[in-house]
Amino acid sequence: MPDVQHCIPFSELSLDDVGQVGGKAASLGELTRALAGHGLKVPPGFAVTAAAYDACLGQGRVRSELDALLRDVTTSSIDDLARRGERARRTVLEAGLPEPVKASIVAAYRQLEARLGPDPAVAVRSSATAEDSPEASFAGQQATLLNVRGEREVLHACLVCFSSLFTDRAIAYRHEKGFAPLGVRGAIAVQQMVRADLGSAGVIFTLDPDSGFRSVVVVTGSWGLGETVVAGRVDPDEFVLFKPAIDHPRPILSRRLGAKQSKMLYARGKGATTRTVPVSAGDQARFCLQDAEAIQLAKWAMAIEEHYSRRYQRPTPMDIEWAKDGQTGELYIVQARPETIHANRQNQAMVRWVLEDPPPALLRGVAIGRGIGVGPASIIADPARLEGFQQGEVLVADMTDPDWVPLMRKASAIVTNRGGRTCHAAIVSRELGIPCIVGTGHATQTIAANAVITVSCGDANDGRVYRGEVAHRREEVSVSELAKTRTQVMLTLGNPARAFELAQLPVAGVGLARQEFVVAQNVGVHPLAALSPQSLSKETRARVEAMASRHSSPREYFVDGLASGVAQIAAAFHPRPVIVRLGDFKSNEYASLLGGEAFEPREENPMLGLRGASRYLDPTFEPAFDLECEALLRVRKDMGLRNVKLMVPFCRTPKEGQQVIARLAAHGLVQGRDGLEVWVMCELPANVVLVEQFAQVFDGFSIGSNDLTQLVLGIDRDSERLAYLFRESDEAVLRTIEAAIKGAHAGGRPIGLCGQAPSDDPEFARFLVRLGIDSVSFNPDAVQRGAQVIRQAESDERGAGGD
């Protein structure tokens, strides 16, 4: 048995041993011992303890030399930091490992040989005593060496790991986090390599890494060893799964196929242990995981999160690495650590960054975090140029490396060609609070050196780079200012990418989810074009089939894209209600979708033409409505998102409403079953005149103030010449709204309003409050002001002797 002072098998470790073996090794031991009942697999291995590190530094004058070298270190000079780091590493390497430590490591490795066969390939990973703790991740700060074989190479790799406590980045990170220069002790995890070089690997977060939304698991991955994902060398595949629906038939909210440009394999022959090769076009075009495998990984991740949360007695989101063995097809967890960015953030405000009149974007990529950075671009193609980087410049690179952390601290923003939301650049930039855009594809070729650019991460996951300095502002929405009111404050939302972030607002739910916006963003193809691509021109058909190439058919592409977008919104606000308006594009708007011109009629006045309920019942467009129904049933039934309510727009008669409800029921969306409510937009004078009859058909009303105003006043709402007459506060409109609210309540139905008028016009808000409207839905940029106006209106009403 190995000397327990210097080497301990994972099977004998737990989180209680962090001070002895560091966070990584202790975690592997904890997973091995505590979570085997979940079927979770952890490759075997052993820890080289902090006592072995102490023995290494205890040789001769090693410790005193390191102390003298680092006691007054700062991060203000990259050159000085690099000089001290190089000397410190050389001191450790020249000292070598003491003989007793070598003997223990060799004995532990031989035990692995007895289990795995001669010269098993292992990963040798740093596991410093403060690493992977709930307070500080130390992500990428110390060394990891892969595919290490044989006693001699394992000993050398362990020495390199100990010396890596003194990389420039590790010294700077400890200084930044307030650790003494020698206050963190080294330890090592030596672990069997999974043949992910023949399979795939990646990273899992048990929350959304950008917004901090806790109800999802995000799985990213690519072909080959996981280092390419962690280091940001590839744009990985991404799966987002909804935790409450993990046992439902379809818990995957969204999938994104990454470019997966390269993969890391075992090296051939002697010398280098790994090599990187391009990924074939065929493998780039397919996901590195099956859906069932992503679900299995998510279940394991949830079990790990639950276990750690119990251990630490507080919610503990996790950052996990996984690998799939290409020989056996088995999945493994190879590392787990508490997530430290959002878990430690106690934010009572939601910050929004707004660009003022931006020009066309120069580049687009995946936005990391939130914020806007401006500065001259410094394009770093050669790490030797790091020394010339100046405070406030924008770091532009193919990808970042852990050695660049001291430099990243000085950047106003970071832009990379490659990488995904879980790569090194993403993790570090979140921790530093620096706006970052990854996966742009060609930033280093497109951005001119020294040119001033604006890097915007203000629009959900869509990161954009602009030429020059673009004026912008920072807005802060205080959660405390959105105090509960009698009138429910809700959101109007059409962009699924913003849902996780906006769900942090204490609103009552989503009063209007614009399904047509989801189609435009997530699908982009006309539903009839998806059903009948053979009716399209050769060129258009080719474009449709290319967009749907990763699905079994264009039809499935449409259904999956719509279901995914609606599900992201519904999951974000679950269990709060999300009222999804059925498709409400006009014929000219539907025609703008790919393939739409082949199917849409040319109408003189599309605003009053084939739209809403009439479109769903039209024989030509019934098949298109069938696709909507299939997608919505998938969301409610297969994803378990029963907080979704449906709303019928532009319903001209109660009979038409009954016919739409019958069509919904024919597709399994039965009003009343599993709590399904079907509402109606109150936007036509007919809806108000016959409000009692509509109340017998529908479960609730939502006043569409724009359409209702234009139809009451007979004004084209898009007419500039008549804009001065378009006012919701017009007496005729107010009387109509009053009749709608009173009629809905007389029929026992709730009624809300969707529109900006209450936030812009306090008197209009007081009018609605006085009538007892049940809810008002605002666009995200108006919700704070809208809530304030509603709260003040209710206060005024109480002061005037109202309810």
**Do strands 413-416 and 436-438 pair parallel, antiparallel, or not at all (unpaired)?**
parallel
CB 559, CB 626: distance < 8 Å: no
| Alpha-carbon span 274 to 267, nearest angstrom | 4
Supply the angle between the helices 78-95 and 50-57 in degrees, to the nearest 10.
Answer: 90
- Structural tokens at position 780: 């995200």
Q: Rounded to whole angstroms, what are the CA distances from 793 to 165, 189, 761?
A: 60, 62, 11
Q: Which amino acid is at 174?
A: R
From first CA to last CA, the distance across the chain in angstroms is: 78
| Alpha-carbon span 163 to 97, nearest angstrom | 11
Of 288, 423, 629, 754, the catalytic one is: 754
Residue 176: closest CA among 164, 184, 188: 184
| Alpha-carbon span 712 to 687, nearest angstrom | 12
- Structural tokens at position 655: 């009979």
φ, ψ for residue 54 (rounded to 5)? -60, -40
Of 424, 472, 526, 574, the catalytic one is: 424
Provide CB contacts within 8 A for 462, sequence distance 6+. 364, 367, 497
Residue 564: closest CA among 626, 519, 512: 519
| Alpha-carbon span 566 to 436, nearest angstrom | 27
Q: Residue 594 has what DSSP assignment?
A: B
Provide CB contacts within 8 A for 611, sequence distance 6+. 584, 585, 586, 587, 649, 650
Q: Rounded to whole angstroms, what are the CA distances from 275 to 129, 202, 395, 673?
A: 30, 17, 27, 57
| Alpha-carbon span 215 to 206, nearest angstrom | 8
| Alpha-carbon span 644 to 636, nearest angstrom | 7
- As a dihedral over the C-alpha atoms of residue 517, residue 520, residue 526, residue 530, rounded to 10 degrees, the angle is -110
> Could you confirm whether 754 is annotated as catalytic?
yes
E strand residue ranges, 291-384: 318-324, 331-338, 349-355, 363-368, 372-380
CA atoms within 13 A on the CB side of 325: 14
CA atoms within 13 A on the CB side of 145: 20
What positions carry a catalytic annotation? 424, 754
